[in-house]
Structure 1
């Protein structure tokens, strides 16, 4: 699209770190088209020709440019009706810098649509001045006729409540006279701010802009993680948006609340954003807020497939209405295809979910038949895995080349044996078993005196410059030769179940050999007091076909058939009582031996089907899940 050219070039020119800090990523055309068509399709421009459409993080204006085209086509189609309905109405129009009063017949002409749309319909705000200039220039260039008048494109932080924290009457009175400094009353902090005229005028423009109520709010709110936020700004958000924003929240959460505040009655909001808030602990407040304060019309869940180039954020489109969600059914489109390049409804699984079933704990987007299986499992079990097991992440070395050696290097360098421990990575973890590894970890946290371990230190020192640059070393928390995060080594020596951080299927293995694990492997050991359970029993359950189905009902999908096996999710799994299902344990024990010895697949399949049959009978569900 030609009028996107400047904006695209501008975004492409931005450094990756700058994009990340500001959350700026270009929304593909087909996404914008889909969102606008779904949002504005039913807009009645005859009944409401002065429709207000806001993009609160408009950037270069990609959403607004396409909205302009859509509105112009819709206005063009109803011009006769507009002239008839508003024939005697009085309007103002600016031509060549002069304002004229005209009647409805003269105003509702095609030659005036450019002026009308820019003056009365499109509103955009952003914190990037250069992007806003490109947005304004691209909108004005939409028609050969020169646009005269002020556009509704403003430079501001949209999350600041300008309409609440300043009094437009007080600002207007101040600006009636020319002064060197103007006294502006900040109602939020209850103090006087002494500002130059240009800044005072800017605040008044922002106040008027945000005093509007909008009929439609669209866009791609910035995705900025808590680690990218300046500490003072983060503190301000924690106070200003405490209803939705928590310590590790993303800034996009605040834009949902801000949009609902700026929304007119029954306004439609269409945002594409990270889908993570539907499941994450930090999204709990936002889930509750949206449940209480909006009608959730539709969720288009791309279910982990990548939409934005250059980032791995899983996204979804959320369509909300500024009205009560009581007795509402939310339409769900859940992506079920491969690589996505367009929104073809045939690529989505479609179903409806009662909005009141989108619970604070987690929004689980599944149809009723799958929800029934989930309910049966959750209601039948009293114990969550996290109640009986302690989960922990593998070791972060900070530089694997310095600390991970193979058997050949151990011999060649004469690495001290007492520091070496067996080492496994994600790729070594299989169902029931751990693939043989010839890797060893130099557990350098045990080096109390470097002179005792000259060979290990000599090897590690080759990477000293890189190791000293680790944040923990710079801050003095770790010595240069130590692991970045060595964890508690005693946990690794216990019998434990290990599983990969990212996988396409359940892969839980029993480790009785004291393997130390990389950071892409998680483990759990039984807690004290969990004597009623055994690791082989849990292994058989977690590797079952039913429990893979159960886990994937609410697990975070990471794209390309991969799922996030983060402990926050794994530890939420409900586990049957041991006494009721203890016959699973000997079957699991036999499977351990068969997998370890590479036995016939037929016997393995038979045993796994027996376990699934026991679990299906226990939960009262069929085998067709």
Structure 2
């Protein structure tokens, strides 16, 4: 078993895993200390050693002895990144940038004109474990700067998390043992709000890093109110990472640069209007490297891009590289052509085709289709049953409906349609169905804890959001909300479906469903979707109604509309 696996197993055995992670890392590198300067740093941060976890130390010593070479080669960031908990990463918005990507980003900055007389200040405003700062120190050192001059006058770091600040300092001192803690300009604080001296007194030539990703659901109400008040880029359901672009603008010198790796969500997201407008109107975009749905980060469901910005106005071209079919394609794109409602950056031929398709029609999907969402049961384990359960409990068949989820849907058929049944319990007297009542009763305590049940909106045995029965018991279009391509199915078999499926109801009874579905699954519509819909994974798109509603129905294929007149 490797050192990392053994440490993770050790941490898993503790009650407070987040505390244990810090204790383990602190103890490991206290053992590795070879200099008085590191000893002094350890003394300053000795509150990360927890006496109630000292019983782990003997086991850690054994693991060090057993994995000595691996331990000696490891850095604080390596250990922490690999053993920290998902909850801790999520609360801090931490996603660790691969080291080769770090080097690629540093390589985007022009160091060629920097001389030992220069005062080019660089800062990472979410420095994590120091992944960006150490290679930057090395870059400056290669230009003839003394390491002490670099860390005292040129390279800075900030992080809200005090343990991250400790890790960054420790990493630098391990790399450069001649340095002292007092030489380092690494500070703990919330860069978005805190006054941090001496950083407040400087303007920077380069701000680089990986800002934290924390969505609105994981922020307190008070903190969100502060963001709303102080950052125009933070709006309804925004991510905190947007604010780092605005804060960075305030911290840069004129013509200073930002190089961030961040989620590509802002290019297409419904709630990203203000950040798109801010970036276009305040920065010159120099380069975007878009991983186009591919996941670069280990253990995080985030598709990133790298963006390089300059603090100056521009309407000229920038270089856009996007990953497609395992290789990067390159486009020169005019910044003035970016639209605030969505950034669609593709070769001119594709954009011209898209414009042509829109120009050929005045019709939109919403003119013909009304969208509905599938059912939220509130507890699938209770309401979704198999044939074995139906037989065991002799459940009343009147309440049972064929049930599917998004993975069951294909363009031309539904798989496993008979595998599950839904107990459709809405607006009924459960005492009239004693067998079903007896079965559901085993889940009663959990069902009663549902929000709608507590508020008296539904009875304990009812579905949480059952929708209207008639939606499901008529002809309709069903499709998964996430798919690699348009996957629309014409259902004539009264299928009931989960909330990961959306439903399309024709607004006019004379519209022929099967022909409409042919268009929605066509190559033309697939092209439109690939240009317009938000990409959330490798070859994976979101087919949310708000995005579909305004897509065109092309006149030339208006045969799909089978009006009797």
Q: CA 1:116–1:273 in structure 2 vs 1: closer, same or farther (change >3 Å)? A: same
Distance in 2, matches of 1:509 and 1:409, equals 29
Residue matched to 1:249:
238
User: Does 1:446 pair with 2:434?
Assistant: no
Distance in 2, matches of 1:375 and 1:314, equals 27
User: Does 1:563 pair with 2:541?
Assistant: yes
Which moved further from structure 2: 466-475 or 351-360? 466-475
Distance in 1, matches of 2:73 and 2:132, equals 12
Distance in 2, matches of 1:469 and 1:34, equals 50
Distance in 1, matches of 2:325 and 2:111, equals 29
User: Does 1:29 pair with 2:99?
Assistant: yes
Work out which of the residue numbers 316, 323, 340 in structure 2 matches 1:335.
Answer: 323
Shift of 1:584: 4.3
CA contact (8 A) 1:537 1:582 kept: no
Q: CA 1:131–1:582 in structure 2 vs 1: closer, same or farther (change >3 Å)? A: closer
Residue matched to 1:173:
none
Shift of 1:550: 1.6
Q: Max radius of gyration: which structure?
A: 1
Shift of 1:148: 7.0
Work out which of the residue numbers 355, 363, 366 in structure 2 matches 1:375.
Answer: 355
Which digits, 9 at most, give the CA deviation of each residue in 1:177-224, with x for residues without a partner? xxxxxxxxxxxxxxxxxxxxxxxxxxxxx1531231110000100000
Work out which of the residue numbers 457, 461, 465 in structure 2 matches 1:485.
Answer: 465
Residue matched to 1:314:
303
Work out which of the residue numbers 522, 525, 537 in structure 1 matches 2:505.
Answer: 525
CA contact (8 A) 1:297 1:331 kept: yes
Shift of 1:496: 1.6
User: Does 1:54 pair with 2:123?
Assistant: yes
Residue matched to 2:133:
64
User: Does 1:547 pair with 2:525?
Assistant: yes
Q: 5 Å matches for 1:203-602?
A: 206-241=196-231, 243-326=232-315, 328-338=316-326, 347-435=327-415, 437-438=417-418, 439-447=420-428, 449-473=429-453, 478-527=458-507, 530=508, 533-577=511-555, 581-584=557-560
CA contact (8 A) 1:10 1:131 kept: no
Which moved further from structure 2: 470-479 or 214-223? 470-479
Shift of 1:520: 1.9
Q: CA 1:464–1:48 in structure 2 vs 1: closer, same or farther (change >3 Å)? A: farther
For the residue of structure 1 that corresponds to 2:499, the secondary structure is coil
CA contact (8 A) 1:395 1:519 kept: yes
CA contact (8 A) 1:503 1:564 kept: yes
Is there any run of 5+ residues in structure 2 with no aligned partner, and where? 1-69
Q: CA 1:477–1:125 in structure 2 vs 1: closer, same or farther (change >3 Å)? A: farther
Distance in 1, matches of 2:334 and 2:294, equals 25
For the residue of structure 2 that corresponds to 1:522, the secondary structure is strand
Shift of 1:463: 3.0
Count of matched residue pairs? 491
CA contact (8 A) 2:173 2:181 kept: no
For the residue of structure 1 that corresponds to 2:246, the secondary structure is helix
CA contact (8 A) 2:511 2:560 kept: no
For the residue of structure 2 that corresponds to 1:267, the secondary structure is strand
Residue matched to 1:178:
none
For the residue of structure 2 that corresponds to 1:395, the secondary structure is coil
Is there any run of 5+ residues in structure 1 with no aligned partner, and where? 77-109, 163-205, 339-346, 587-625
Residue matched to 2:160:
127
For the residue of structure 2 that corresponds to 1:507, the secondary structure is coil
Distance in 2, matches of 1:253 and 1:38, equals 21
Residue matched to 1:83:
none
Which digits, 9 at most, give the CA deviation of each residue in 1:97-152, with x for residues without a partner? xxxxxxxxxxxxx6xx1111101111111111121022122223332423374432
Residue matched to 2:29:
none
Which moved further from structure 2: 293-302 or 45-54? 45-54
For the residue of structure 1 that corresponds to 2:421, the secondary structure is strand
Q: TM-score scaled by structure 2? A: 0.81
Distance in 2, matches of 1:42 and 1:554, equals 38
Distance in 2, matches of 1:498 and 1:547, equals 16
Q: CA 1:255–1:572 in structure 2 vs 1: closer, same or farther (change >3 Å)? A: same
CA contact (8 A) 2:92 2:161 kept: no
Q: TM-score scaled by structure 1? A: 0.74
Distance in 1, matches of 2:154 and 2:534, equals 39
Which digits, 9 at most, give the CA deviation of each residue in 1:61-96, with x for residues without a partner? 1111121122212x23xxxxxxxxxxxxxxxxxxxx
CA contact (8 A) 1:419 1:443 kept: yes
Q: CA 1:3–1:364 in structure 2 vs 1: closer, same or farther (change >3 Å)? A: farther
Q: How well do the aligned residues superpose, as a CA RMSD in angstroms?
A: 2.4
Shift of 1:3: 8.5
